[in-house]
Amino acid sequence: MGEEIDLVRALLTSQPRPASLAERRERLDAVASAYGVAPDIRFEPVSVGGCEAEWSLALGSDPSKVLFYFHGGGYCSGSIKSHRGMVGETGRAAKIRTLALAYRLAPENPFPAALDDATAAFEFLLAQGIDPNRIAIGGDSAGGGLSLALMQRLRDAKKPLPAAAWLVSPWVDLQMTGATIDSKAAIDPLIHRDYLEQLTANYLAGHDPRDPLVSPLHADLSGLPPVLVQVGSAETLLDDAVRIAGKLGASDVPTRLEVWPHMIHAWHLWSAKLTAGRQATQSAGRFIAEALGG
């Protein structure tokens, strides 16, 4: 397992860090999709509330059940392309359909644009006649925070909630108070404090970082559906994941935390080369399938 993650680390450090936002977006798409997607998963583009989105369906999966997914990238990068393999394979593992959303990115579209897009897309799913008890939401990094923000908004508006949520390496504290942001900096090849500070400035555009809709660590999390949190031990956002799992549990939300040894940020993206990535994807698939009555 150590040799496998070293190969991924080599991929991620094979080129200098991007200097511009445009380069960062291009680089994330390239490295996250480096191993392609399985040929037997069908992908279908769709427009949702003015945003691009994409359905996926693996052979034998149930199209009446949906994983609604938000990609990571600090609200400033990431795309359907970068996360296509991760989303499609999780849908396969859960034996359900997926919908990945290309929500608007900062700094061009700061908060609350991404949350507004997520809300509109969830309403799109309901308008398609999909029972909310047959919907799970998920996201990695910023997408994990966005998942929690969406559930807060739905709950507070007394609207239907999804049946479950899956959070991978979630970024839930834009004040960046977690100790592992510094203590894990030397071994995390992707996420560091200065990078997070840039992302925060772009996304918030002066908005309060303590707002529970941008930092769910400060939110009232009561009344949310069951949550699976997965995080690697070798990432700076480890404390974000551990703390949000603890807060969810303290709020009486059924919560499972999985800390995967030696894994880096959103390691599922490279499951084609990582046994632990495939195992974590299968674990997420079982959790989602059980929550949706599979």
> Looking at the annotation, which residues are catalytic?
141, 235, 265
Residue type, 162: P
Residue 265 phi/psi, 5° resolution? Answer: -55, 125
